[in-house]
């Protein structure tokens, strides 16, 4: 099994596989996001308290989920690269960082625009908002640290260490709404019991989650190919891959 | 009907910019990933050409 895993995680395999997967993932993501947006914006009923402002959830919640998922992926990939010296781990972490950072920024901007009509302010030093802002700074820190060393291998190791240390922020983001008094609403979908949304509101949200997730994996594949090429450009397999 | 939809119950000034930010994030990700991919391919081709020369 380990032999199979090492072969799959080899740069030529990852380069070829991600090239084959990316167009399909991105096409499926486009269909799901288009359907989810139309269904959520035009056909889902307005919320009884928030009115039509609640429709921001269809872009805010999937962005927020991706912002933490991308960070976890980055940290796990970095840990795998540090522990088992599988170098594709550093490439995955480097590819995931800018995508995660962009979705964190999107989460903060959309949350801020949602906060104004609901809380009366664009920003509050609330535990959920503050921990999400710290996540954005962690992404910037990891990306900057990777570039800060002349030796790319040292940059990779330092970035992986920072990413692993920063994982402590993920449960803080997740549970901040239950641990502390927060302006931010609690979980509506990811609850141990039943979700608190009716099906006509929930279905477009789940479709948007799936669409954003596929989009993330699709863009990750494209970025991963670039990372692999940058890191392996003197390898013999690149000569054949570039020629085709 | 269309103007009611666009008005978003009086929250248009908040809902539509959010949708705009999100679509811009998706578009930026796609554009920057493809740009990085093209640049990496070009760099690899240059490295091979230099090694062959």
ipTM: 0.93
Confidence (pLDDT) at B49: 87
Task: State residue B23's pLDDT score.
Answer: 97
Q: Total domain count for chain A?
A: 1
In whole angstroms, give the CA distance from residue A45 to residue A52: 8
Total-model pTM: 0.93
Assess contact for A227 and A95: CB atoms under 8 A.
yes
On whether residue A231 sits in a domain, the answer given is: yes
Q: How far is CA A139 from the centre of its chain?
A: 11
Tokens 């996540």 correspond to A135
Compute the nearest-CA separation of B7 from chain A (Å). Answer: 9
Q: Which structural domain range is residue A135 located in?
A: 17-243
Evaluate whether residue A213 is within a structural domain: yes
Task: State the nearest Cα–Cα gap between A156 and chain B, in angstroms.
Answer: 18
Which of A55, A226, A242 is the closest to B37 by Cβ?
A: A226
Report the chain B residue with the minimal C-alpha distance to residue A54.
B15
Q: Which residues of B touch A55 (CB under 8 A)?
A: 8, 15
What local confidence, expressed as pLDDT, does residue A189 receive?
63
Residue A6 inside a domain? The answer is: no
Q: Which residues of B touch A63 (CB under 8 A)?
A: 22, 25
Asked if the Cβ–Cβ distance from A225 to B21 is below 8 Å, we say no
In a domain, A11, yes or no: no
Residues of chain A with confidence (pLDDT) below 50: none
Residue in B2, B10, B37, B50 to test binding to A, most A beta-carbons within 10 Å: B37
DSSP assignment, residue A51?
Answer: B
Query: What pLDDT, on the 0 to 100 scale, is given for residue A195?
Result: 64
CB A12 within 8 A of CB A236: no
Q: Which of A56, A239, A242 has its CB closest to that of B18?
A: A56
Q: Provide, as residue numbers in chain B, all residues whose Cβ is less than 8 Å from the Cβ of A51.
A: 9-11
Q: What is the mean pLDDT of chain B?
A: 92
State the count of interchain CB pairs (< 8 A) between A and B: 102
Contact A222 B33 (CB under 8 A): yes
Q: Which domain holds residue B24?
A: 2-52
Which residues of chain A lie closer than 8 angstroms to B51, CB-CB? 234
Residue A12 lies in a domain: no
DSSP state of A9: T
Best of B26, B32, B35 to substitute, by most chain A Cβ atoms within 10 angstroms, is B26
DSSP one-letter code for A150: S
Q: Give a yes or no: residue A4 inside a domain.
A: no
Contacting residues for B9 by C-beta, under 8 A, at least 6 apart: A46, A51, A52, A53
Residue A167 located in a structural domain: yes
Provide the pLDDT for residue A179.
Answer: 79
For residues B24-46, give the mean pLDDT. Answer: 95
Question: Can you read off the two tokens belonging to residue A236?
Answer: 């013999």
**B28 pLDDT above the threshold of 90:** yes
Count of domains in chain B? 1
pLDDT on residue A194: 65
What are the contacts of A69-73 at 24+ separation with CB within 8 A?
A69/A100, A69/A213, A69/A216, A70/A96, A70/A97, A70/A99, A70/A100, A70/A103, A70/A216, A71/A100, A71/A135, A71/A138, A71/A139, A71/A163, A71/A166, A71/A167, A71/A169, A71/A170, A72/A167, A72/A170, A73/A100
Q: Which of residues 118-177 of A touch B (CB under 8 A)?
A: none
A9 within some domain: no
- Residues of A whose CB is below 8 A from B45: 242
What does the DSSP assignment read for A158-218?
Answer: HHHHHHHHHTTHHHHHHHHHHHS--SS---SSS-SS--SS-HHHHHHHHHHHHHHHHHHHH
Cβ contact B40–A41 (<8 Å):
no
Q: Which has more pLDDT, B10 or A197?
A: B10
How many CB atoms are closer than 10 A to CB A234? Answer: 11
Q: Which residues in chain B have their CB less than 8 angstroms from residue A223's CB?
A: 33, 36-37
User: Nearest-CA residue of chain A relative to B18?
Assistant: A110
């Amino acid at each position: 099994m380990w032999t199979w895993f090492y072969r799959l995680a080899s740069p030529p395999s990852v380069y070829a596989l991600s090239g084959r997967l990316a167009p399909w993932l991105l096409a499926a993501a486009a269909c799901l996001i288009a359907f989810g947006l139309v269904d959520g914006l035009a056909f889902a009923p307005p919320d009884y308290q928030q009115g039509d402002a609640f429709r921001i959830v269809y872009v805010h919640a999937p962005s927020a989920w991706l912002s933490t998922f991308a960070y976890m992926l980055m940290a796990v990939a970095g840990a795998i690269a540090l522990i088992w010296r599988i170098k594709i781990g550093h490439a995955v972490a480097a590819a995931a960082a800018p995508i995660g950072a962009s979705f964190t920024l999107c989460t903060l901007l959309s949350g801020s625009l949602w906060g104004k009509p609901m809380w009366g302010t664009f920003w509050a030093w609330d535990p959920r908002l503050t921990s999400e802002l710290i996540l954005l700074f962690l992404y910037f820190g990891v990306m900057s640290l990777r570039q800060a060393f002349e030796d790319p291998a040292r940059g990779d190791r330092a970035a992986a260490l920072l990413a692993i240390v920063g994982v402590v922020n993920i449960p803080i983001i997740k549970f901040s709404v239950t641990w502390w008094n927060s302006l931010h609403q609690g979980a509506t979908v990811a609850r141990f019991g039943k979700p608190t949304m009716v099906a006509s509101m929930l279905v477009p949200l789940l479709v948007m989650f799936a669409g954003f997730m596929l989009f993330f994996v699709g863009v990750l594949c494209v970025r991963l190919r670039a990372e692999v090429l940058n890191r392996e450009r003197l390898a013999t397999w690149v000569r054949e891959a570039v020629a085709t | 009907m269309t103007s009611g939809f666009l008005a978003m119950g009086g929250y248009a000034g908040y809902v539509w910019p959010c949708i705009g930010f999100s679509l811009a994030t998706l578009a930026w990700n796609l554009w920057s990933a493809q740009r990085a991919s093209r640049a990496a391919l070009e760099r690899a081709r240059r490295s091979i050409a230099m090694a062959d020369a």
